[in-house]
Structure 1
Amino acid sequence: MPDLLVELFSEEIPARMQGRAADDLRSLVTGALVEAGLTYEGAKAFATPRRLALTVHGLTSRSPDQSEERKGPRVGSPEKALEGFLRGAGLSSVAEARIVSDPKKGDFYVADISRPGRPAEEIIAEVIPAVVRTFPWPKSMRWGSGALRWIRPLHTILCTFGPETEEPEVVAFEVDGIRSGNTTRGHRFLAPDAFTVRRFEDYVSSLEKAKVILDPARRRDVILHDARDLAFASGLELVEDDDLLDEVAGLVEWPVVLMGRFEESFLAIPPEVIRATIRANQKCFVLRDPATGKLANRFLLVSNIAASDGGRTIVAGNERVIRARLSDAKFFYEQDLAVTLDERLPKLDKITFHEKLGTQSARVERIAALATEIAPLVGADPALAARAARLAKADLVTGMVGEFPELQGLMGRYYAAAHGEDPAVAAAIEEHYKPQGPGDRVPAAPVSIAVALADKLDTLTGFWAIDEKPTGSKDPYALRRAALGVIRIVLENGLRIRFAGAIATAATLPADVAADLLAFFHDRLKVQLREQGARHDLVDAVLADARDGDGAGAGDLLLVTRRVEALGAFLGSEDGRSLLAGYRRAANILKAEEKKDGRSYESAVPDRHLLDETGENAEKVLAAVLDAAIGHAVAHVAREDFAGAMATLAETRPAIDAFFDQVLVNADDPAIRLNRLALLARIRAACHTVADFSRIAG
């Protein structure tokens, strides 16, 4: 079957856009081809700084013939209805339609529409120009006098189609004066001349000869392999950086890794500053000494050219720039050290956190007060927690954080340590921002935990108070991340904090707003537990019986998690599955009878004398077993022994099974029927001592 090759050759595409652009090219083109009736075996897209390429394998050479029977209006319908039918069916008169009789609806017109298939070349010649003209670049503009909007000037379009056994054809079309062809160019400097391409296989090999590695994954591997080898040859090791590696792979078509150096005196700067400076300004990798773990005064750069002088000029140029940048960083660092964090606090009065939530200074005071309240709950010194909270945002007004915002917190830790602050305070200044993502570590030191929780709770309660909650996919203030951060801190440190109370301490919120925020925590907890393998319905079951301020669901997230784990283990056992089946049988009967009777049996109490009079031993046994089980289960739950509570409930299984086997619930005697429904309500109540079983699926 034929293959399609497309290349869009342009000026340099920003590295951050290349991966998405390649995916968009593949999905848009293949989607349009399939919609037009063509099928294919496989498709893959690639991106380099100067080109987007797509290969579609096993594309059918022609779309299938299509036939359609389109039903029209009834015979004798108004003229306008007939005109619309004829226009939609492509008929010139009703004489071209046939009349079909329906016993109920009468006679109506039917058009038989046939559409012959089309050659793939014809479809491709429509699809590619349409995709190019509507390509979803994040940013684009018109270049020159044309109407086409593209990320950078588009120079050529390569488009060939044909089977492996024949010479492929150029699919002819034009986009904004650019005619499709079968030529492309190699590396801008090393092989700039045009050359002809037939199909994907010789396209890749020809590009390689022209000093272009098409596959970004392969460019990435080449860079990483060469960087490791070059570092090893110098007795050093690469400080790996996946994001930077991806970016650099998008900046070069023919990667050449080179090593440079800078003065050892710059190593007095914090290593994170050196790395940020070299990374941000020159897209270079730093190296470390494996013997000490400290940074070395070397760096690796990735050139897009194999220079005739072995890269000496390129290295020298980068060294000059890095030297200047590190000099600036050293200046900022030394200037920052000359002023204590305490002395910087007044400047926070001039920084607005949010127009409705006041300044950073006001926020710092709120965080300090909340950290003081939380500190005893997490085993932290309240005074140290308050001190750390007051200094936590002071580095925002330093020169270094102004230059590299991503170093906020970290620089505060360096400055606090240099000025003699308690190590716990210095650590909390850095760690109070954590965790900032799923892979980020969680604070473990008590003072850091107190300040981190206070910072995130202040953010959440503040934005809930002004009704700036996340909506749909929009979360401009990263409130979901803040809530997940709180949850991870609590769970991974095994903390017992009731967040209903914590929310009330953080801010005075109306009851409905506080409840909504607590529900938001529950939703985030479900997300977290699902990622850990828990069933969302079990989380719902545990939370549902504790929505009021006194239950476990009122905010003790660790307790909720333990209950979910115990419930999951119990329902995975034979006893658990059997009890769930008995619960459902009882609940279903109750639901039907409550609907029929127009009342609830929730609070109905079995009449003991009537149990004796019926003579049904299974009834009396079940009543006695349920009384004991509920009492024991409640006691186990009070001790937070959830496994014990569920084991107690499991002991009711034989009595429940016997009751359903031997006793008719809907007895003829109304009093006996009511008594037996009350027993079913006791089964339901027993199960609800540990969770709302009605929310358990499956």
Structure 2
Amino acid sequence: MADLLIELFSEEIPARMQARAAEDLKKLVTDGLVEAGLTYAGAHALSTPRRLTLALEGLLDHSPTVREERKGPKVGAPEQAIEGFLRGAGLTRDQLEERDTPKGAIYFALIEKPGRPAAEIIAEVLEATIRNFPWPKSMRWGAGALRWVRPLQSILCLLSTDDGNEVVPLDIDGITAGNSTEGHRFMAPGRFTVTGFEDYAAKLKRAFVVLDPKERQDAIWQDATNQAFASGLEVVDDKGLLAEVAGLVEWPVVLMGAIGADFLSLPAEVLQTSMREHQKFFSVKNPKTGRIEKFITVANRETTDNGATILAGNQKVLSARLADAKFFWENDLRIAKSAAGMGAWVENLGNVTFHNKLGTQAARIDRIAALAREIAPVVGAEADLAEQAARVAKADLSSEMVYEFPELQGLMGRYYAEAAGLPQPVANACQQHYSPLGPSDDVPTEAVSVAVALADKIDTLTGFWAIDEKPTGSKDPYALRRAALGVIRLVLENDVRGGLSAIFAKGYAGADCSDLLSFFHDRLKVFLREEGIRHDVIDACIAMEGNDDLTLLVKRARALNAFMASEDGENLLQGFKRANNILSQAEEKDGVEYSFGADEKFFEDASETTLFAALAAGGGAISSAIEAEDFAAAMGGMAALRAPVDAFFEAVQVNSDNQIVRRNRLNLLSQIRKVCGQVADLSRIEG
């Protein structure tokens, strides 16, 4: 057995590409080795800004010899066919074996592929990996044809066995594999040799390189939180920024600096966004006030002045950035508090195109406002407030702050609406109407916010449906699936009642409301799948009247799903399907519909009387429960039918020779179908 160490050393790899690149290296190399017959016990990939590393343990030092038997043409076949078979097998005529088979004498070839040394295979696999590496973006440099994300400087490829270490012979466009690497660019320049992974990792650590990105993240976070805690502050959690910063440094040095007093009055979100996006700084807040007061930066080296010069430079750049943000904030506040208020921004949106077929943002705001007014009574909101909120919800798109930081749209709208003296529900709707943006995003619960959020998303959906720009396959450029899921969550989590079809009809003119509702039903299936609700159960409920009332539909589906998971549900379904199949076949054969109810005087068996009575009682109980939307009770009524249905089929033959009895029993089956059909279309459920 052998161990393999690979390092691809280059100029700085963008932080966002490192994790994926390490996994790609691992997959490409291990897949290639296994395909060539070299199995291994374990593999792990690591990355720093300047290197991708792969370590394999328990690798075979030699691929096994492979013997393959291949069937050829018949003996006596045309010479051309035999020669072709020989070329493919790499054999000569005298190496073929003739065998008698039921189809006559056939040529067979025994092909033996001898094993190869691991180093030979590794060289081939690694070269193919490097030359075909799937970087999102890559570049060429010098006169060679090799492409890499940044200029590739060296390759370390070391195979270790009990007998010692071997550099795998490999040369790619003049870059020859070796057994050496470099440490930190500034703190430990120069190359050094290694003998294996443990030696490699230890020497890198001594050369101020932390190889494991998770270790770098943990070190950054621990040091940052400790420094903040010592000052009575706390670091704002930001896992995405932590992963990115860990990809920018090989030797993380955490430094905490102060934000200028002139900028402390800026909203916390503005400070956090500006520092995160432009400087890659963590925000440090006062837990008592929630105000951002300091920042954490991560340097890539230690200095004799303990980072004082680095901090001074960072603070100078940060002050310039925050001065811009402060100017935007103060200028936007002046406009929001003016006589025109946020209306001036809305007017400017008349010059901004939403979509070339759907008009301007201002025209869209008019539609959303009218729709929000219609939706308001359904969600318990005041119509005037809902319309007012819809008219200013997009206003901050014209503000300077949102122009600079688009990710703050909505949030800044809330600040500006509050500054303008608008009612708090209106201000809150400015921020909340974009939500939910994803499956884990919070759903607004304030009535005005819910009305505007629904109006916004429904206008988007009906608009794009009207111009036939629907999602196709994996393509959804306008995020319409996300918008539909947002509507579903808004409706369900706020227990909104009423038909969506009527609301769709008041959206953008020309939308195919029926097709749009089908799209919603498909999205609902995906959403409910997370709860374990089967697609066929949802289909059985969609087939019922009122299927555009999503809250009612989901209540029914949840209850039915639970019932079908029970023994009573499973057995009753079989009884229903049996009844439905017999009845459908009889109606097709006889050319009549058996739906007039059975007559007790024609019963021949006690099971018929029992079932008749159970259907009469159960039908009324189920009907009342459904009317009251008590689906649990309705399922209880269904469960009570299981035993009499089972007893009926065990005791009697429906297709009796007596035609009067037969017709009566078929009419009894129609009662089973009718009573069960009040709950859902059970014929759509897979048995």
Alignment of 1:263-342 (within 5 A): 263-296=260-293, 298-339=294-335, 340-342=341-343
Question: For the residues of structure 1 that align with 2:286 and 2:661, how far apart are their CA atoms?
Answer: 84
Residue 262 of structure 1, CA deviation: 2.0
In structure 2, relative to structure 1, the CA distance for the partners of 1:108 and 1:337 (3 Å cut) is same
Change (3 A) 1:613 1:522: closer
Which residue does 1:24 correspond to in 2?
A: 24
Distance 2:213 2:589 in 1: 68
Task: Give CA deviations for 1:622-656 in whole Å, capped at 9, x if unaligned.
Answer: 23322332333223212211112111122222211
Give the drift of 1:176: 1.7
Q: Deviations over 1:104-158 (max 9, x none)?
A: x333332221111222211111000100100000011112211011100101111
Aligned counterpart for 2:116 among listed residues 105, 115, 118: 118
SS at match of 2:295: strand
Q: Distance in 2 between matches of 1:485 and 1:607?
A: 46
- Letter of the structure 2 residue corresponding to residue 691 of structure 1: A
Alignment of 1:232 with 2:229, yes or no, is: yes
Within the alignment, does 1:214 sit opposite 2:211 as a pair?
Answer: yes
Q: Which amino acid aligns with 1:114?
A: E
The CA distance in 1 between the partners of 2:662 and 2:99, in whole Å, is: 61
Matched, 1:358 2:356: no
Q: Which amino acid aligns with 1:243?
A: G
Aligned to 2:594: 604
Distance 1:694-1:123 versus aligned 2 partners, 3 A rule: farther
> Separation in 1 of the partners of 2:106 and 2:362?
78
1:578 is aligned to: 571
Contact 2:180 2:193 in 1 (8 A): yes
Q: What is the SS of the residue equivalent to 1:142?
A: coil
Question: Once the 2 structures are TM-superposed, how far is the Cα of residue 474 of structure 1 from its aligned partner?
Answer: 2.0
Q: What's the counterpart of residue 64 of structure 2?
A: 64
What is the CA–CA distance in structure 1 between the aligned matches of 2:535 and 2:218, rounded to whole Å?
A: 40
The alignment status of 1:558 with 2:543, answered yes or no, reads no
Alignment size in residue pairs: 682
Write out per-residue CA displacement over residues 439-475 of structure 1, whole angstroms, 9 at most, x where no aligned residue: 3211111111111111111111111222222222222
Moved more, 124-133 or 534-543: 534-543
Within-5 A mapping of 1:149-160: 149-160=147-158
Unaligned runs of 5+ in 2: 336-340
- For the structure 1 residues 101 and 599, does the alpha-carbon distance in structure 2 shift closer, same or farther, using more than 3 Å as the test? farther
Q: Distance in 2 between matches of 1:425 and 1:361?
A: 18
Offset of residue 679 of structure 1: 2.9
Q: Distance in 1 between matches of 2:669 and 2:560?
A: 22
Does the 8 A contact of 1:606 with 1:675 survive in 2? no
* Structure 2 partner of 1:137: 135
**Counterpart in 2 of 1:658?**
647
Is residue 29–residue 126 contact of structure 2 (8 Å, CA) maintained in 1?
yes
CA distance in 1, matches of 2:115, 2:264: 70
Structure 1 window deviating more from structure 2 (484-493 vs 306-315): it is 484-493
- What per-residue deviation string (whole Å, max 9, x for no partner) do you get for residues 392-417 of structure 1? 22211211111101001111111111
Q: Does 1:453 align with 2:454?
A: yes
- Distance (whole Å) between structure 2 residues aligned to residue 234 and residue 148 of structure 1: 51
**Distance change in 2, residues 1:433/1:623 (3 Å):** same
Which of residues 662, 673, 678 in structure 2 aligns to 1:684?
Answer: 673
Kindly report the root-mean-square deviation, in angstroms, between the aligned alpha carbons of the 2 structures. 2.0
**In the superposition, relative to structure 1, how do residues 129 and 455 fare at CA in structure 2: closer, same or farther (>3 Å)?**
same
Pairing 1:617–2:606 present: yes
Cα pair distance change 1:78/1:631, threshold 3 Å: farther
Distance 1:577 1:608 in 2: 26
- Unaligned runs of at least 5 residues, structure 1: none
Question: Does 2:465 align with 1:464?
Answer: yes
Letter matched to residue 635 of structure 1: S
TM-score when normalising by structure 2: 0.95
Q: Does residue 633 of structure 1 match 2:632?
A: no
User: Aligned letter for 2:255?
Assistant: L
Partners of 2:75 and 2:433 in 1: CA distance: 77
Q: 1:300 to 1:78 in 2, by over 3 A?
A: same
Residue equivalent to 1:349? 350
Residue in 1 aligned with 2:338? none
Deviations 1:261-303 (A, max 9, x none): 121221221111111111111100111112222222x111011
- For residue 231 of structure 1, report the CA deviation from its aligned partner: 0.2
In structure 1, C-alpha distance between the alignment counterparts of 2:39 and 2:196, rounded to whole Å: 19
Pair 1:215–1:497, CA change in 2 (3 A): farther
Aligned counterparts of 1:606 and 1:67: Cα–Cα separation in 2: 74
Change (3 A) 1:447 1:101: same
Where 1:110 maps in the other structure, the secondary structure is strand
Query: 2 CA distance for matches of 1:577 and 1:477?
Result: 42
Cα deviation for residue 588 of structure 1 reads 5.2
Q: Distance in 1 between matches of 2:189 and 2:675?
A: 80
Query: What is the rounded CA distance, in whole Å, between the counterparts of 2:581 and 2:190 in structure 1?
Result: 78
Cα distance in structure 1, aligned partners of 2:516 and 2:194: 60
The code of the aligned residue for 1:199 comes to: G
Kept in 2, the 8 Å contact 1:69–1:110? The answer is: yes
User: Using a 3 Å threshold, how does the CA distance of structure 1 residues 280 and 108 change in structure 2: closer, same or farther?
Assistant: same
State how far apart, in whole Å, the 1-side matches of 2:581 and 2:632 are.
26
CA distance in 2 between partners of 1:599 and 1:222 (Å): 80
| 1:368–1:84 CA distance, 2 compared to 1 (3 A) | farther
Deviation, structure 1 residue 211:
0.7
Q: Which moved more, 1:260-269 or 1:672-681?
A: 672-681
The one-letter amino acid of 2:675's match is A
Comparing 340-349 with 246-255, which one deviates more in the overlay?
340-349
Deviates more, 1:566-575 or 1:634-643: 566-575
Change (3 A) 1:345 1:613: closer
Counterpart Cα distance in 1 of 2:116 and 2:666: 70
Deviates more, 1:555-564 or 1:78-87: 78-87
State the 1:213 CA deviation.
Answer: 0.8
Paired with 2:196 and 2:591, the residues of 1 have a C-alpha distance of: 75
Moved more, 71-80 or 370-379: 71-80
Q: Which stretches of structure 1, 4 residues or longer, exceed 6 Å deviation after superposition?
A: none
Q: Quick one: distance in 1 between partners of 2:36 and 2:333?
A: 66
**SS of residue matched to 2:204:** helix
> 1:508 aligned to 2:501?
no
CA distance in structure 1 between the aligned counterparts of 2:576 and 2:5, rounded to whole angstroms: 62
- Structure 2 distance, partners of 1:607, 1:517, is 39
TM-fit CA distance, 1:322: 0.5
Contact 2:389 2:430 in 1 (8 A): yes
Distance 1:91 1:680 in 2: 73
Residue 85 of structure 1, CA deviation: 2.2
| Aligned-pair CA distance for 1:598 | 4.8
SS at match of 2:348: helix
Q: Could you tell me which residue of structure 2 aligns to residue 257 of structure 1?
A: 254
CA distance in 1 between partners of 2:535 and 2:165 (Å): 54
Partner in structure 2 of residue 46 of structure 1: 46
SS at match of 2:344: helix
Which of 647, 650, 672 aligns to 2:636? It is 647
Corresponding residue number in structure 2 for 1:518: 517
1:400 aligns with 401
Equivalent residues of 2:43, 2:56 under 8 A apart = yes
Alpha-carbon distance between aligned partners in 2 of 1:563 and 1:290, rounded to the nearest angstrom: 46
Q: Secondary structure at the match of 2:264?
A: helix
How far apart are residue 78 of structure 1 and its match? 4.0
Confirm or deny: 8 A CA contact 1:579 1:653 kept in the other structure. Answer: yes
